[in-house]
A and B are shown apart, each in its own frame.
Chain A
Amino acid sequence: MKRKSIAVVGAAETTQMGKIPDVSVIGLHADAALNALADAGLKPSDIDGVATAGISPVELAHYMGIKPTYADGTQVGGCSFMLHVRHAAAAINEGLCSTVLITHGESGRSRVGAGGFGRSASSLMGQFEMPYGPMGPPTMFTIPVLRYLKARGYTVEDLAQVAVIQREWAAKNPRASFKGPITVEDVLKSDMIAWPFTKLMCCLVTDGGGALILTSAERARDFPQKPVYVLGTGESVETPMVSQMYDFTHSTAFRISGKKAFDEAGITHSDVDHLMIYDAFAHLPLYGLEDLGFCQEGEAAAFIKGRNTAPGGKLPLNTNGGGLSYMHSGMYGMYALQESVRQMRGIAPAQVPGAKISIAHGVGGMFAASGTIVFSNEAP
């Protein structure tokens, strides 16, 4: 995409976060959308492009009374919203529409108006994975990790350390689900879910949502909020079956998506002031730091243990507390994007002073997909 040709002019999460038993899935989408519209000073009729995952863009558009000229229903898991941002940028630049609303809403905890999980027994996953007893992401996303730890020389304590430092960030965030400090020992002693993963190495299960509004950088200057410019974007998809990853010790999708985003943005790693790496489980930031090129293979654990990503460190990471401590409704990518936008606006609860470039990097499914967005708050 063209650097800084597109900006985020509206961004908001749902009014409530965590446990919301009185709002359905579509209601969470709408609540986030209305908050983002208010943030941008827009009405639904000002929107001519819609994008969402979890529900259909048809449901979103009709529920909101939007008659769009552009609809994107890309659904590749929790990073779908990164892909929506990327596609919206291309669509606006191509003249397909001028103002795109991207929404997420999920009743992950309360399951109000939520569809079921499950895949057909004739799908490849249904035939070649499900017969062996996997039961959702905690037993699947984690499968490559013993191989990864062995290859890198990392330990389960290194996984625990990720959760400990993210809790330090969460403590600074009033909306975080869990704020109390924890130790490596606490993490290791929490309930064993799927060895070697304990409960505190796994993301939360909560209700919530978020929405973004994008338009051209030219128009962005006329909106009430400080524009946050899209500097670079990347995406890729890898495998619908975790057992068929190309290599258990890295995410091919991360590498392709990350490189594309860095190349588009024309930045180097030292330019990055703030980083979000979708942390459905404690191993994701380790893979992310390596696959995005912030660390050499085998150095990510020491990088985290050395407090480089902690409050006061040189690369603030997952400053909202992440999926491990902030919230995780199922498709967390939207919350990573929201935190990047807050950091670029300068209004994050744990604001990184003077941050000018932020990256939100997402994973979809179980290492199935990836999306990367580089943001800047400096006008073109």
Chain B
Amino acid sequence: MPPRMLPEPTPETRHFWEGCKAGELRLQRCADCDGGAYFPPRPFCPKCGSRKVEVFKASGEAVLWSYVINMRPRPDMGTEPYAIAVVKLSEGPTMMTNIVDCPQTPEALQLDMPVKVTFAPQSDDITLPFFQPAGA
């Protein structure tokens, strides 16, 4: 199996990936407006344009927002069907992920089910955030 497709962090996203290595899901929010948390990372507020933004540790709590189950696995993803999911974080942003520790079936993957972040190292540099059922 070829190695999993992994991200290449940029200066603007490095804090996020450093956070994953440290076991923290890091989001950003604006210090100048009440625009709330945002994702993916960027060094300014997408609501008001202010550069005064801060990184903070998110709760890691989310709900399953939507997904598909890919029946033709990408070569680096193994041989079994898997869900490509989007979760809605309790802080507001949505984020693509996989749901782990859970059968990859429509019956097990119910929209709005609570999930929580979990981290899995993939290389020396990259740890990916995944989500698992909150009760797991």
Binding site for B on A (CB under 8 A): 120-122, 124, 126-135, 139-140, 142-148, 150, 191-197, 241, 243-245, 248
Q: Which of B75-123 contact A (CB under 8 A)?
A: 76-77, 81-82, 84-86, 94-98, 106, 111, 122
Are A194 and B71 CB-contacts (below 8 A) given A129-B96, A143-B84?
yes
Q: With A and B bound together, what is the CA distance between A195 and B65 in angstroms? A: 15
Pick 18 A–B contacts, CB within 8 A, sort by A.
Answer: A120-B8, A121-B5, A122-B7, A124-B13, A127-B8, A127-B9, A127-B17, A128-B95, A131-B4, A131-B128, A135-B72, A143-B68, A147-B111, A191-B71, A194-B68, A194-B70, A194-B84, A244-B39
Q: With A and B bound together, what is the CA distance between A241 and B39 in angstroms? A: 11
Question: How near does chain B come to A379, taking the closest CB pair, in angstroms?
Answer: 46
Are A133 and B6 CB-contacts (below 8 A) given A124-B40, A248-B66?
no
Q: With A and B bound together, what is the CA distance between A133 and B128 in angstroms? A: 12
> A248's contact among B5, B65, B69, by CB below 8 Å, is which?
B65
The answer to whether A132 and B66 have CB atoms under 8 Å apart is: no
The answer to whether A243 and B95 have CB atoms under 8 Å apart is: yes
> A197's contact among B10, B68, B128, by CB below 8 Å, is which?
B68
The answer to whether B8 and A147 have CB atoms under 8 Å apart is: no
Chain B: CB-nearest residue to A128:
B40
Chain A: CB-nearest residue to B93:
A244
Residues of chain B within 8 A (CB-CB) of A245 are: 94
Question: How near does chain B come to A145, taking the closest CB pair, in angstroms?
Answer: 7
The answer, yes or no, to whether B36 is at the interface (CB within 8 Å) is no
> B5's contact among A131, A150, A243, by CB below 8 Å, is which?
A131
Q: With A and B bound together, what is the CA distance between A150 and B66 in angstroms? A: 10
The answer to whether A146 and B70 have CB atoms under 8 Å apart is: no
> A131's contact among B7, B71, B111, by CB below 8 Å, is which?
B7
The answer, yes or no, to whether B74 is at the interface (CB within 8 Å) is yes
The answer, yes or no, to whether B49 is at the interface (CB within 8 Å) is no
Residues of chain B within 8 A (CB-CB) of A128 are: 7, 39-40, 95-96
Q: With A and B bound together, what is the CA distance between A365 and B52 in angstroms? A: 32
- Among A120, A144, A147, chain B packs the most CB atoms within 10 A around the CB of A147
Q: With A and B bound together, what is the CA distance between A185 and B77 in angstroms? A: 31
Q: With A and B bound together, what is the CA distance between A109 and B95 in angstroms? A: 32
The answer to whether A195 and B7 have CB atoms under 8 Å apart is: no
Are A121 and B8 CB-contacts (below 8 A) given A134-B84, A195-B71, A243-B96?
yes
Residues of chain A within 8 A (CB-CB) of B4 are: 131
Residues of chain B within 8 A (CB-CB) of A126 are: 7-8
- Among B68, B82, B97, B106, chain A packs the most CB atoms within 10 A around the CB of B68
Residues of chain A within 8 A (CB-CB) of B73 are: 133, 135
- Among A127, A133, A194, chain B packs the most CB atoms within 10 A around the CB of A133
Q: Which of B16-71 contact A (CB under 8 A)?
A: 17, 39-40, 65-71
Chain A: CB-nearest residue to B42:
A124
- Give me the 10 closest cross-chain CB pairs, A-B, nearest first: A127-B7, A147-B66, A195-B69, A122-B8, A243-B96, A194-B68, A121-B8, A133-B77, A135-B74, A146-B66
Question: How near does chain B come to A142, taking the closest CB pair, in angstroms?
Answer: 5
The answer to whether A193 and B71 have CB atoms under 8 Å apart is: yes
Residues of chain A within 8 A (CB-CB) of B66 are: 143-148, 248
Residues of chain B within 8 A (CB-CB) of A192 are: 71
Given contacts A127-B8, A132-B96, A133-B82, 19 further A-B pairs with CB under 8 A are A127-B9, A127-B10, A127-B17, A130-B5, A130-B7, A131-B128, A132-B84, A132-B97, A133-B76, A133-B84, A135-B73, A140-B84, A145-B66, A145-B68, A146-B67, A192-B71, A196-B68, A196-B106, A248-B86
The answer to whether A147 and B5 have CB atoms under 8 Å apart is: no
Question: How near does chain B come to A154, taking the closest CB pair, in angstroms?
Answer: 13
Q: With A and B bound together, what is the CA distance between A378 and B72 in angstroms? A: 49
Residues of chain B within 8 A (CB-CB) of A120 are: 8
> B72's contact among A124, A142, A147, A193, by CB below 8 Å, is which?
A193
Q: With A and B bound together, what is the CA distance between A124 and B9 in angstroms? A: 9
- Among A131, A132, A192, chain B packs the most CB atoms within 10 A around the CB of A132
Residues of chain A within 8 A (CB-CB) of B81 are: 195
Residues of chain B within 8 A (CB-CB) of A144 are: 66, 86
> A133's contact among B65, B74, B122, by CB below 8 Å, is which?
B74
> A143's contact among B10, B13, B40, B86, by CB below 8 Å, is which?
B86
